Each structure stands twice: as C-alpha cells, then as structure tokens.
Amino acid sequence: MFDIERWQEIFETISKNKLRTFLTGLSVASGIFILVILLGIGEGMQNGISKQFERNAANILYVFTGVTSKEYKGLNPGRQIVMKNDDYSYISSKYQDELEYKSSIFRIWSGLITFKNESGAYRVEGVWPDYQFLENAGMTEGRYINYKDQENFEKVVVISKKIKSDLFKNGENPIGEYIRISNINFKVIGVYTDPGGEREETRVFLPISTAQRVFGGANNIRNLSFTLEKKDNFEEALAESERFTEEVSSYLKEKHIIAPDDTSAININNTLEDAKRFYDLINMIKFFFWGVGICTIIAGVVGVSNIMLIIVKERTKEIGIRKALGAEPLAIIIMILHESIFITTIAGFTGLIFSLALLEFVGPMIETEYITNPSINFSVAISTVFILIIAGAIAGFFPAWRAARIKAIEALRDE
C-alpha cells in the first residue's frame, strides 16, 4: 500500500544530506555503468569473431601440405608433399554420405590478368563448383563454374567485383567478354562478391581440370576443402569433424609415406576447433567482465550500507520514540530498507540508462577487426535490474536489522 508519509520521510532525509546521497548513488551508478559497458564490449567481441567466421563456411576443413620433418621407411626428412587428384577422389568417394561440400584447389599465386589496356596481378585458383559455398561467395552477375565446365575443360572464369572494377573501367558488362590470364583467353561467365571483402576478392576461379591442363599442373593439387553435413548440436559437429580430420590425416600420411607423428607434412585446419577456442576465450572474457562489474557494484553496495548505518546512528533517538509508541521491529526494518532500495534503484537505473544510451549511439560506430557493434540484449539489461533490487535490499538489511534491535529506553538516552 502506498504510504505518502514514508515517502516524505525518505525525501526529507535525502534533502538533508544531498552531497552524501549523491556520492553514494554515484558509486552504485558507476558500478552498473561499468558492468553494462563491459558486457557490451564482450558482446561486440563475439560479434566481431562471428563476422570473421562468416567469411567462409562455418564448419570448413582445409587440408594443406608441407615438408616432412622426420625420416620414415628409409626416406629422408625435407620432402615436399604434393597431393594428387586421386587423393581428393578417394576421400570424396569414401565420405560421400558425410560431406556437404567439397573441392580440391590448384592455385597459381600471381597470374597476370589483362583486359584491353588494363591489367593486374591476381591469384588464379582452379576449383570445383562446390567451392562457391565453401567460400560463401555470392554471385552478383552471371553464374559460377558448373560440372559441365569441369568435364569439358572449358576456358571459363569467374571474377570478383573488385577485379571487375579494376579491369572494366568504362562500365562494360564483363559477362561474355574475354580476359587474358598469362596470355591465354578465358571467357568471363560470372562476377562474385565475398563476405571477407576486397582481401578475399583478389582471386579468379576457373575449373580445376582446365587450370591443371592449361598451367601445367598435371594431376597436382594444392589444397583440399570440405564441409561436413550439419549436426544437431555444436559438440556433436565438433566430435564428427575431429574424427574426420584424424582419418583423413592418417590416410594421407600412409599414402605419401609420412611418419604418423610427423606434424608438419600434413596439416588440417578445422574451423570448428578454431571457433570453439575463440568462443571459449570470449566466454572467459565475459565471465571476467561480469566479475569486474559485480565487484564494482559490491563496492557501491558497501558504500550504501555504510551510509545507512550512519543514518541509523543519526536517527537512533527517533527510532527509540517510534518503538516507544508501539512501532514493530518489522516496521523499522521496512522503513530503512525502503530508503536503501530507493537510493540504490534510482542510482542504478541512472547508470543503466546512461550506459545503454552510450552503447546505442556509439556502439554502431565501432567497427574493428575483432569488435563489432558492442551492445547488450534485453534479457541482460533485465538481469541488471534484478541485481540492483537485490543489491539495494542487501545494502539496507544489516543497518535495518541493527535499527530493529535498538531498545527504546537506550535509544531515548542517546545524545
């Protein structure tokens, strides 16, 4: 029930001690402000990391080779391992029911590409049609490579939006035009865009069969890329990808006569493992941020509790009179708690509003590699409200309990 007299008492007490109340409230507001900002930064870090993984398929596995580091079966270390087409064919066939997308890659690191009077050095990659989905490439014009292009060794090429702007200066439609790659004509069939930005758009794609034939690749391949079929949960997907990684690594080591414990000859980058490490780190950082914020709030709560103890001391005689007139201990506790919760809640909401406003207006402008649009969701904001209420109650309980235990006769003697 609304008690106007109690509210009048609260405002009268606050008005008598404006500076003390302001400083007490400032400590609580600062705690909530710091907590919300830290949680917003944690969310921004998660957004930034998620954006990094959006550049390619989320569960992609890259297989690449290096040189052997150990002697094995009479073969010296230092051998360069080169994968072949039949490596890709075997893995694709054996795991066909488990694979979602797959592609082998034949790569030329720097190929001179020209169109009329314009030219530039770009990476040339021979790939399978699935590579579009492995790279999350979106088509803005034309189409991507298909299996007919692969089977017929077609001299067709897919260029990026960046390469289009570099070479087609006059706004020509590149579809159907011929560009020269190392002085060999290729027909442009599509223009793609990559979520990784211009850094990922310095490549042109052509059928791997054509690339190997035209550029003297024989049956050599540089990399393998796979994604596994989606699973019901992250842990299951991670376990499946780790099993696949182990089996593929064992097969390639056996096929190319590599020591089982040689870690440099065959390398498989499992992005799910990378994602797990990143998100585990993010969760640890968020936990740390929560700890720092909670400790800051506790410091404010201790300040409120100390102030309420002082208030109880100042009002000892008043409390004694109330008890002499028949006030119950519960009424005294509620009186002190009411004031404590009011100060804490008002200060906390002030800190919450300022922090949310800062994240709302400044957050969208923050765009770094690993922090993107720091923000806080509604459920977390509600959680901070409950923290405020609980903090206010805790801050006032012990002073209120002390006030309730004051004996009327002793209080009336207090000077």
Would you kindly state where each structural domain of the chain is located, as residue ranges? Answer: 4-52+277-413, 60-270
Segments in 17-96 forming alpha helices (H) = 18-53, 85-94
Selection from 149, 260, 134 nearest residue 206 by Cα? 149
* Per-residue pLDDT tens over the stretch 243-279: 999 999 999 999 999 999 998 999 988 877 666 666 6
Segments in 95-192 forming alpha helices (H) = 131-134, 147-151, 161-167
Selection from 362, 341, 412 nearest residue 28 by Cα? 341
Does residue 68 contact residue 79 with C-beta atoms inside 8 Å?
A: yes
Distances (CA, A) of 373 to 39, 60, 220, 355, 368: 12, 26, 44, 14, 9
Distance (Å, whole) CA 392 – CA 40: 24
Q: What phi and psi values does residue 390 have, to the nearest 5 degrees?
A: -65, -45
* Per-residue pLDDT tens over the stretch 161-200: 999 999 998 878 999 999 999 889 999 999 999 877 777 8
Q: Assign residue 176 a region: left if phi > 0, alpha if psi is -120 to 50, beta otherwise?
A: left
**What pLDDT does 1 receive?**
44
DSSP 8-state code for residue 338: H
Give the pLDDT band (50/70/90) at residue 12: low
**290-308 mean pLDDT:** 72
**What pLDDT does 313 receive?**
64
SS3 of 323, please? helix
Does residue 83 contact residue 103 with C-beta atoms inside 8 Å?
A: no
* Per-residue pLDDT tens over the stretch 67-115: 999 998 888 899 999 999 999 999 999 999 989 899 999 988 778 899 9
Name the more confident of 213 and 311. Answer: 213
Average pLDDT, the chain: 80
Overall pTM surpassing 0.75 (yes/no): no
Range with the largest mean pLDDT of 46-55, 182-191, 382-391: 182-191
